[in-house]
Amino acid sequence: MNDCPADRFFIRDGYTIREEPEYFVDSCRETEGIVHQPDVYPFAAHLARLFGVGHLIDIGCGRAEKLADFGGEFKLVGVDFGENVTWCRQNHGFGTWIDLDLESGADLPLSTEIVADSVVICSDVIEHLRDPTQLLRFLRNLRGKCAATIVTTPQRDLARGVNDPGPPANPSHVREWNTAEFGDLLVWAGLEPSFLGLTRNSNQATTRNTILAVIDRLHPSTFSTPPRDFSVTAIMTVFNEADVIESVVEHLISEGVHLHLIDNWSTDDTVGRINRLCEAGHVTVEKFPADGPTGTFDWGDLLRRVDEVAAMSDADWLIHHDADEIRRAPWPGVSLREAIFQVDQAGFNAVDHTVIEFWPVESAHLTRLERDLRYFQFGTRPGHFLQIKAWKRQPSTVSLAASGGHEAKYEGRRVFPYKFLLKHYPIRSQEHGEKKIFKERKTRWNTDERDRGWHFQYDTCRIGEALTKSATDLTLFDDITFDLRYLVERLTGTNLSSDTK
């Protein structure tokens, strides 16, 4: 790394640092019940599970109480100096505790095998250092050797206001960054983050005033272009989806995905709306069952047909896709096809999804899903948290039907650590909801499937009740704000705090 411009570490001119910070004794959890960054360590453990590594390394671990919560699952390494690391050695009967001054420039005394088998955490450490250069070099040396590194620090503008002159209110902090400044610092240090956003600052607050960066081998700048013959096919079952089918199919095509549509004998113009796309070769269509409608919604039979189509497909990857959803890659500006290719190249063969549900807040005319339905809430039903619906074509049997369509099951499945986003639009207006629920769903349920515990999601709906929601109970969706604010939630689908509604 070259010297940082003006030695300000990218913080704006006029900001005053603290020249003599106090030593930070990590006792807040013990004395006040406060857990800072409560989602960071569960997030690290989530990544470690899916990357298949067995160590968590905590750089600047303090008393390591958050790290210790995972001592039964992972081998733990804590790095700190002074009173904190002494306390760890005296009070934790497990783990490896390394006494190391992070401004000294010393190397981490761990084998390359342990580092390769780890996710690294450096949570709220960098703001304590007079000169963070050595820590940044330290983290850069770990990049590419460990599975992923998570770095957090307070977001100055959100915590203190955009005009805060410094020094920080915390007497142990030297300086604090805003998100843009911190991103510039990481890029300068050779630590360009794959993901950069916010997380909750404590278990006693819903505010998201902490910057969180994920640094790994999967930054879009490193992505290779998929070869021309790399193909992704979505398989979609439909029944009377004329109001949204064009939006959804056009989105899939724009994302580089071919579509095979299984029409369950729609009685509206679902198929007619996409004839031009079929003629252009982007979509293939079949009627199912082939010998005509059964009069019931036979979900098990439809899923078994999806399994059959997937088994016969020569696509590299398959997606089980519904007609009322839009899917996006975890990296902004990267198409589904490009993102799935990177998943494949990274050695994973399945993709899970985070579900957010959009609801109508007024009886507006619907023409484009993403433009006209903009208020959402995170998925709440159990099925929303199991959405492994994209997979690499397998030599062995792949089954969706066994899980009711929630996951593709097969031997040797390796799920990508970062979830893709699934934007779900089940009800588009009061009129649409009444038609869908009371005429096209409840009257067509397969009784055997009901006995199996399927198709209960609309049981509480009553004719005449409002199927729209109040905007005050939902969150307005904006791509940039969502990606920034709900970083952990969108990548994991978990750790939802109260302000996600």
DSSP bridge partners of 285: 261
Supply the pLDDT for residue 5: 54
Supply the pLDDT for residue 87: 95
Sheet holding 317-322, edge to edge: 283-287, 258-263, 232-238, 317-322, 390-392, 350-351
- For the entire predicted model, the pTM comes to 0.93
Supply the pLDDT for residue 2: 55
The Cα–Cα gap between 281 and 284 comes to 7
Supply the pLDDT for residue 45: 96
How far is the CA of 4 from the CAs of 8, 61, 131, 136, 253, in angstroms?
A: 7, 26, 11, 12, 44
Number of H helices and E strands in the chain, helices first, is: 17, 18
pLDDT in tens, the chain (501 residues): 555 554 689 999 999 999 999 988 766 555 567 788 899 999 999 999 999 999 999 999 999 999 999 999 999 999 999 999 999 999 999 999 999 999 988 888 999 999 999 999 999 999 999 999 999 999 999 998 999 999 999 999 999 999 999 999 999 999 999 999 999 999 999 999 999 999 998 888 778 999 999 999 999 999 999 999 999 999 999 999 999 999 999 999 999 999 999 999 999 999 999 999 999 999 999 999 999 999 999 999 999 999 999 999 999 999 999 999 999 999 999 999 999 999 999 999 999 999 999 999 976 567 678 989 999 999 888 888 899 999 999 999 999 998 999 999 999 999 999 999 999 999 999 999 999 999 998 999 999 888 888 888 888 899 989 999 999 999 999 988 999 999 999 999 875 444 444
Torsions phi, psi of 374, nearest 5?
A: -125, -5
Domains, in order of start, for the chain? 5-217 (3.40.50.150), 232-495 (3.90.550)
On whether the CB atoms of residues 321 and 391 are closer than 8 A, the answer is: no
Supply the pLDDT for residue 500: 44
Supply the pLDDT for residue 6: 46
CA neighbours closer than 13 Å in the CB half-sphere of residue 236: 26
**347 is written with which tokens?**
């050695």
On whether the CB atoms of residues 78 and 97 are closer than 8 A, the answer is: yes
The Cα–Cα gap between 231 and 250 comes to 17
The Cα–Cα gap between 500 and 201 comes to 15
The Cα–Cα gap between 424 and 440 comes to 19
